[in-house]
Amino acid sequence: MSSPCGLTALTGASIVFANEVAHDRALVLDGARIVGTAAPGELPEGCTVRDLVGGWLLPGFIDTQVNGGGDVLFNDMPNVEGIRAIAEAHRRYGTTGLLPTLISDYAPVVEAAIAAGEAALTEGVPGVLGIHIEGPHLNPVKKGIHDAGRFSTLDAKMIATLAAPTKGRRIVTLAPELAPQGAVRAMAEAGVLVCAGHSLADYDQTREALAEGLCGFTHLFNAMTPLQSREPGMVGAALEDRASLFGLIVDGLHVHPATLRVALLARGIEGAMLVTDAMPPVGGHRDRFTLMGQEIVVANGTCRGPDGTLAGSALTMAQALRNAMDMLGLDIVAASRMASGNPARFLRLEQETGSIAPGLRADLVHLDAAYHVTATWIGGDHAEHRE
C-alpha cells in the first residue's frame, strides 16, 4: 500500500551501485521510479518503510538470451502466454528484464515470435524488453543443438521482417559470413542489435561485420571460430573490439572458468554480459523436454541432447551472478554490472534501467547474505520470492 506521500523507502540492505556499495542507506522510490538514497533517520515524513533485514539490494538482472522457462519453450509457444510464463519463471531468480529467444525455426514461426513480442510489449507484460531471434541464418558447421534443417538464407523479405519497427529491443544472431552484402548494415541502421554466433567467420570477416554495425557476440567461445596463434578468429575479434559486447554463459560447463577469466582480462568487464541461454526447466518442474524433435535431458546442471550436445542451460541469472563471483573472482559490484548495467547499455536502455540511480525505473532485486533472491521490483511493483 502506498504511503500518504507516495514514497517507499527500502532499508536494511547494502545497496549496490555501478561503482560502489553503500551501507546504512535507504533507497527511496516514488512509484515506478528511483528517487535516491537517504540516511535511515532522514527519510521523508510519511514515507512507507520496508525493512529488508540485511542482504544486498541490486539493480534487477537483465538477460538477453532466454530460450524458455517455467516448462515453456518459446519456439513451442510463440505467443503472449508463452512469453508471460517465461518472464514469470525467470523473475523468481532476479531477472527483471529479458528478451525471450527464438531458436532457429521456419519463417512463419519467426514471424509469430516477432508478433508475440510486440503484443507482449503492448500489453506491458512485466520484464519483457523485446525478443531475440537466434537464427535460422546460421552456419550448419557450427549448428550446436539447432536444427540445420530449419536454417535458411537471409533474403530481402526476411531482412525486412527482422528490421520492422518495434516497441522494444530486437536482437538478431546470425553467421556474418553467410549474410548477403549490406544485410548487417541495413538491420543495424533500422535499430536491430545484430550479433554474431554459430559462425565460421574468420577474424577479417568478423571485423568487416563490426564495421557494418555488428554490435555483439552470442555466447562467446561457443559455436564460433576460436583464437589461435595465426588466426585470431571471431573470438580474437570480439576480445579486441572495444565497442561491442559479448554474452558469457558462466555455468562452468559451456566454457572453462579460466578461459572466461582470460577473456575478462583481455576485454575488461565492460565488454561482458552474463546470459543464461536458459531452457524450459528453469523455474519449471520437468527434467526433460523436446527440442526440434530431440529429447533434451537435464542432469548435473546441464541440458543435453541424445548425443551429448549441450542444449542451452539450466542456469539462472542469480546463479550466474554467484558463479561470476566464485569462478571468476569478481566482487559484487563487478558481477552486478555484468548482470545488469552492461546488458542495459548493450540494449541502449541505460537511461531507463540497469543501475540504481535517481530517475531510473525501480527494477530491483534483493539478495540475502548468501546471494539468493528474496524479492524483486519491476517498475516499483514488488514480489516476494524463495529461490
Containing 121, the helix (H) or strand (E) segment is helix 107-123
Known binding residue 254? Answer is yes
Quote the CA–CA distance of 214 and 386 in Å, as a whole number. 39
Which one from 147, 241, 277, 363 is the annotated catalytic residue?
277
Known binding residue 387? Answer is no
Which of 96, 168, 169, 99 lies closest to 361 in space, CA to CA? Answer: 96
Known binding residue 159? Answer is no
Known binding residue 322? Answer is no
Known binding residue 219? Answer is yes
Which of 133, 122, 141 lies closest to 159 in space, CA to CA? Answer: 133
331 given a catalytic annotation: no
Known binding residue 132? Answer is no
Residues 6+ apart with CB under 8 A from 42: none
Known binding residue 366? Answer is no
Rounded to 10 degrees, what is the CA torsion of 34, 36, 40, 45? Answer: -80
Quote the CA–CA distance of 279 and 314 in Å, as a whole number. 6
Q: What are the Cα distances from residue 38, in Å, to 21, 24, 34, 43?
A: 14, 9, 12, 6
Known binding residue 386? Answer is no
- Which three cell numbers mark 234? 571471431
Known binding residue 312? Answer is yes
Known binding residue 350? Answer is no
Quote the CA–CA distance of 188 and 216 in Å, as a whole number. 11
Known binding residue 198? Answer is yes
Active site residues: 277
Known binding residues: 134, 145, 198, 219, 222-223, 230, 254, 310-312
Known binding residues for substrate: 145, 222-223, 230, 254, 310-312
Known binding residues for Zn(2+): 134, 198, 219
